[in-house]
Structure 1
């Protein structure tokens, strides 16, 4: 049975995002009465439970439709009749039938989810809340469409919105697939195509515009702007100047109809993107469906449009909609304003439930709308700032909900001004919101916490981190008192605090708040048996300055971390011994030994860098967390630098041997001065070559491998890195070796001085040792090279960097031993010192 329930829920999630299940009538009623505010409820109930539950809740206006789900249909046909319970859509024995009907009813409900506001024809100034609300909707439109986006800001806004949607639809696999598609193909086909598709965009946008949900509108601002721009572009291509008649059928509450009748001749505003049709029959179908809801009346709007004087852009969707058959749809941009004309009933009943309303689209020169707009911009703003009572009816008093909406608008204006770089104006807007909150709402109101969050973002933009942190602390104190422990707003505040603490270099505090943010986020948005979404949330957490959090480590991490630390430490000690020997022993003050010292110095720096990486990884693995410290990117950059220095130092040794054999008379080329110049050139090249990795921000913290490296993938920089760091120095070293081999073979065939032949053979021997050393280093780095090759075709293994660096670090000590074994002067000097200490005579006093 549990499997059947889970299967049903999975099927329903393809249609709706939020599903709640209840075992008793009381728990269901309590949820609808206390938890549901403005949402519509679609109830699926069993036959036996429905007989008790339906009579108790069917008159609730929040309840849209009821579906009785049972195995024996005949047992419940009598009590579920339409005459008794008009909201019951039928008795269903198959969940797929419920899904099909539910999809139709939700479409109808979303079609009716349009905020409609009216204004009397006699109104020339704002005198009550309905007038203010009407004009505020127009102000909101101006705010949204005044934000312009370039490619960079649009991409960032799109990313923020997609991240939000992935969390919001965390348990809805169908919508997650669409979100992924939206991310990849937003610009192609078009915003209209995405809007008309039955997916998260349409429902989320219309609900946000209807409820004036500031948070959602901020996140969707880029899409609203793009959709409006496309409609405006299409509207300009209309060449036909004839009057256009379109229709819209929908259900509205009787109170809304009464306001339209009272304000006949006045203005009416549809605050969403308005969908209409040139087909009267299509609109009548929506009216017929609306008549099935007893609490509503059906209205057929007949709208006359003059394309030449229209005040808002509109366009036909025939060639741009997601659907092939668009129901001859005409889409208007948001907050379209019409003049209310004749209103007549279409039935002869005493209380008619079917009406026809004539509307005419206003133009930019509409005198009443122009006067109100000017009054709004000048008088309303000052009225609100002074307590919302000046120049208004003294009997008018606002409710707490009214103040909330006003605060939301001020915060929204402030956010827009911040985006535009108008920081002082943004501060003024948020300050007004704060003043209203402190004067008219409780000190623990959630809107106060939200306003503090907005102000903290403003301070953060101004690099005033201490004041930003202070605002976040105030917001957190309020949220902890009034919100549930797993509320997403708590996660957001903790997250912002972790960012500020890291900027203040307080890593421990940053870690604590980042951990809390992720813990709350996991509780709020996903279940423990949903590892994919949990991993996604954790990865997204790291994008904000790569803050710390908790991870599970593999059993082999710690032992290999310790092994890597020990080997790199041994390599550092050996490199220091070799360097000090070459510096202190005068017999080692030769050009070849100077080049060996250069290699030892490169190995010392490389070992130190690897030791730092291994130690950092060990500490994070030990505490089961990850976060990049302030030196992580630098260590990654330095790793590329010293790898170049190391390989090119061996190349310089091979070049020197080549010069002494092929150009023995070119003494300047063999001189210390010339060789020092070559060493300096390689060091300069070593630091310059990896600069593109830094400038393009390619060195990133890899979470799984606890290391800062350039991601392995098929790209220009990956090929550039392999070419400059490995292929060029290794290939040239091997080429020099083969040229020396061939040269010695030729000398043996001809009469040659024994001294010259001996010297050439000796140099060949040294170059052979260098080649062996270089090839040994290449073999040590074989896993790294293999993973680079794999990355050209597919994703490398999860712990590819860990595996590669285990080989590199553990065999580094063997490289230093090989240098000791292959460098005779160094070997002899060290052995002489060891022998001298063993043979030392220690005087004994008796």
Structure 2
């Protein structure tokens, strides 16, 4: 008997795969990161002879104790291109034997280049350059001095980096209308769903995670004896209840996890799923406060742009992208902020966060006093908040003109406080109590993250093969699509007969009718498919009445078949009934409602009712901009629909605008030579030609 919880589509999906995909997919995904830095800082060394001098190789080895990730270049154009493409890195540059300022000028003007060191150059010329290029920290000819000065400076930079943190997503409170919501809200919701999926991992899905991470990280730090020793320790001694101890230790785990959270590196995050879940549950277990309200402080520096964002978003919500460490001692936090200020760097401002937290709330991300479980063993009075914690920005102000520190007052909030709570709660309810890598792949698919999703699915296959000694997942190379459809129909028809004769569970009867209908639909036997879906619908209406999501799903299946039969008016009737039910039961900003609006728009488009199609697409887009991650492929496809309609009604400027938006979104997910992007570019060019003729 087939498990009724299996998705119907799964029964109809081919298991044929290219055998190449059965290699270690995770190692392939992570191998792509072996040329990328996992830590905040990277060092770029330009020298025409960088690899040809034995002393340079020795210096590289010594520099790795301060900055692990080093890229070497002997071609100025390659160096310049690399620096241009690494906008999310903080880059330190060494320039050796440089005799003209063209590369120096370009590199210096990149905001993510934080320091430049001139080594073994023309000292007179280099000292002249220092007057023009303030990022030049030193001009040196001695290798020992170079290594020492970079090490000293890097400790200061790392202290500043530890202080900076990262603040990502803002919410508009109180106003529940979708018109007022910001697109970033959708990013936050889906990222939190992704994290929630990791937190619900079954033990079987978690088990391979630490081994996979250790294997990868060992490759990353293969030349660093100190870090390799810590990796060996992690492998041999790590226990789940030690997660906070490992997090607070000055090691790669703290750095890599927070960078992955800030940059939303999905593959690295699901590789770290063991550590994320252990941190989460440790904070839950250690949450034990005597006070109902606690006041906490955090001193740090903020980028001027980020400080301005906070000023402009007062009275809104902010979601922390990474874990947040705070102290009960205001003076210690204030001193930390003051000590982090670099008088020579006007890019940053010292800030003091004053945080009020209600310890009795149950809808927040967990937080706990980790003073006695941290690596420092009680020397710091530390309260740690889990990543994703939400705060209300109460006030942002400078204490006085004489005081360089800005004060930012926050109040801890929870899921119930933001206006997308209904959407988030509804989507979270669709997750299984225990998730696995297939669940991760599904969430990433829904987010429009195609490559990480594929990696998650393939990793799931690999885990299952390992669990079954290779019996699971062998490619069915001789499989032909549709080969087993008659067998599926026969099996479920027998199920209908048995359930009917024995007065069996009517929900099982619905499932059987729907599987038969879906399979007949695949075989293009549309009348028979409709007959089975109609029987399923009659039972559903009798069981649940008109207003139930299962009824809506059945109406959707019927509408799709009517479309294939070109019975468009009947399709519209079924789609609208599906929409009515979903609007009745789902939050107004739910992405499923957006998809239903767009599907209705497609039918109106098929019958050339462009006004109605336009109205449906606009409704869909309004919801998608609220509740889907930014640049989601589904949102891009709605822009394409709008562009097509505008083109049909001779609104060519609006057509061009929507084609361009769709192109810019989709190029983030597909290569530029992908047929879809090639077609959109042709559409853009054609509309531009029309506009030129009209001008």
Question: What TM-score results when the alignment is normalised by the length of structure 1?
Answer: 0.43
Deviation at 1:161, TM superposition (A): 1.7
- Against the structure 1 CA distance between its residues 301 and 85, is the aligned structure 2 distance closer, same or farther, given a 3 Å change threshold? farther
2:398 equivalent among 345, 354, 370:
345
CA distance in 2, matches of 1:154, 1:426: 12
The change in CA–CA distance for 1:428 and 1:185 in structure 2 (over 3 A counts) is: closer
Is 1:26 matched up with 2:74?
Answer: no
Residues 1:417 and 2:435 are matched in the alignment: yes
Deviation at 1:86, TM superposition (A): 4.1
Q: Does residue 261 of structure 2 align to residue 209 of structure 1?
A: yes
Give the structure 1 partner of residue 116 of structure 2: 66
**Does structure 1 residue 331 correspond to structure 2 residue 331?**
no
Q: In the alignment, is residue 246 of structure 1 matched against residue 264 of structure 2?
A: no
Aligned residues: 415
**Equivalent residue in structure 2 for 1:16, among 52, 64, 67:** 67
How far is 1:297 from its partner?
4.5
Shift in alpha-carbon separation, 1:285–1:140, aligned structure 2, 3 A: farther
Deviation, 1:11, is 1.5
Find the structure with the greater CA-based Rg. Answer: 1
Confirm or deny that 1:321 pairs with 2:377.
Answer: no
Alpha-carbon distance between aligned partners in 1 of 2:168 and 2:394, rounded to the nearest angstrom: 16
Pairing 1:453–2:458 present? yes
1:368 corresponds in structure 2 to 417
Distance 1:353 1:212, change over 3 A: farther
Structure 1 contact 137–271 (Cα < 8 Å) conserved: no
1:359 maps onto 2:410 in alignment: yes
Give the CA deviation at 1:339.
0.7
Q: How does 1:504-515 map to 2 (within 5 A)?
A: none
Q: After the TM superposition, which residues 421-570 of structure 1 pair with which residues of structure 2 at under 5 Å, given as runs? A: 432=446, 446=451, 450=455, 453=458, 456-457=461-462, 465-467=473-475
The equivalences for 1:86-105 within 5 A come to 86-91=134-139, 93=142, 94=145, 95-105=147-157
Structure 1 residue 119: deviation in Å? 0.9
Structure 1 residues 34-70: Cα deviation after superposition (integer angstroms, max 9, x where no partner):
3x25222122234845955433222313223333445
* Structure 1 residues not aligned, in runs of 5+: 383-412, 438-444, 472-846
Cα RMSD (Å): 4.0
Q: Is the contact between residue 396 and residue 409 of structure 2 (CA under 8 Å) also seen in structure 1?
A: yes
Q: 2:92 aligns with which of 42, 48, 55?
A: 42
Q: Which of 1 and 2 has higher RCO (CA within 8 Å, sep 6+)?
A: 2
Q: Distance in 2 between matches of 1:470 and 1:172?
A: 49
The counterpart of 1:231, out of the listed 267, 283, 292, is 283
**Contact 1:193/1:320 (<8 A) preserved:** yes
In the alignment, the residues of structure 2 paired with residue 261 and residue 191 of structure 1 have an alpha-carbon distance, to the nearest angstrom, of 35
Q: Could you say if the C-alpha distance between residues 153 and 90 of structure 1 is closer, same or farther in structure 2, counting changes exceeding 3 Å?
A: same
State yes or no: 1:222 paired with 2:274: yes
Equivalences for residues 634-653 of structure 1 within 5 A: none
* TM-aligned CA distance change 1:336 to 1:470, over 3 Å: farther
Cα deviation code 1:145-175 (max 9, x no counterpart) = 22254xx766533222211211232333332
Map of 2:542 onto structure 1: none
TM-score normalised by L of structure 2: 0.52
1:137 partnered with 2:191? yes
Contact 2:354 2:408 in 1 (8 A): yes
Q: Is the 8 A contact 2:248 2:375 kept in 1?
A: yes
- Match of 1:265, SS state, is coil
> Contact (CA 8 Å) 1:13, 1:174: kept in 2 or not?
no
| Alignment match, 1:55 | 105
Question: Which of residues 262, 265, 276 is equivalent to 2:315?
Answer: 265
In structure 2, list runs of 5 or more residues that go unmatched: 1-51, 480-695
User: What do the CA deviations read for 1:630-680 (whole angstroms, capped 9, x no partner)?
Assistant: xxxxxxxxxxxxxxxxxxxxxxxxxxxxxxxxxxxxxxxxxxxxxxxxxxx
Aligned equivalents of 1:319 and 1:432: distance in 2? 41
1:265–1:286: structure 2 CA closer, same or farther, 3 Å change rule? farther
1:785 maps to which residue? none
1:266 is displaced (CA, Å) by 1.3
Q: CA offsets, 1:562-607, max 9 Å, x none? A: xxxxxxxxxxxxxxxxxxxxxxxxxxxxxxxxxxxxxxxxxxxxxx
Deviation at 1:308, TM superposition (A): 3.9
The answer as to whether partners of 1:117 and 1:134 remain within 8 angstroms in 2 is yes
CA distance in 1, matches of 2:373, 2:291: 19
Q: Do 1:418 and 1:458's aligned partners in 2 also have CA atoms closer than 8 Å?
A: no
Mapped contact 2:258–2:322 kept (Cα < 8 A): yes
Per-residue CA deviation, residues 290-336 of structure 1 (Å, 9 max, x unaligned), is: x6444444433222234344734333444333346855443222111
Match of 1:276 in 2: 326
Secondary structure class of the residue paired with 1:319: coil
**Contact 2:193/2:428 (<8 A) preserved:** no
Distance 1:32 1:240 in 2: 50
CA distance in 2, matches of 1:52, 1:324: 51
Partner of 1:760: none
Deviations 1:381-419 (A, max 9, x none): 99xxxxxxxxxxxxxxxxxxxxxxxxxxxxxx8997335
Residue 209 (structure 1) shift? 0.8
In structure 2, C-alpha distance between the alignment counterparts of 1:105 and 1:49, rounded to whole Å = 28
- Cα distance change of structure 1 residues 89 and 321 upon mapping to structure 2, 3 Å threshold: farther
1:91 Cα shift?
Answer: 4.4
- TM-aligned CA deviation for residue 117 of structure 1: 1.4
Over 3 Å counting, the alpha-carbon distance change for 1:453 and 1:146 in structure 2 is: closer
Distance 1:12 1:48, change over 3 A: same
Q: Offset at 1:88?
A: 3.5
- The CA distance in 1 between the partners of 2:105 and 2:217, in whole Å, is 37
- Report the Cα distance in structure 1 between the residues aligned to 2:241 and 2:123, rounded to whole angstroms: 46
| Greater helix share, structure number | 1
| Cα distance in 2 between the residues matched to 1:222 and 1:50 | 50
Deviation at 1:31, TM superposition (A): 1.2
**Deviations, residues 735-793 of structure 1 (Å, cap 9, x unaligned):** xxxxxxxxxxxxxxxxxxxxxxxxxxxxxxxxxxxxxxxxxxxxxxxxxxxxxxxxxxx
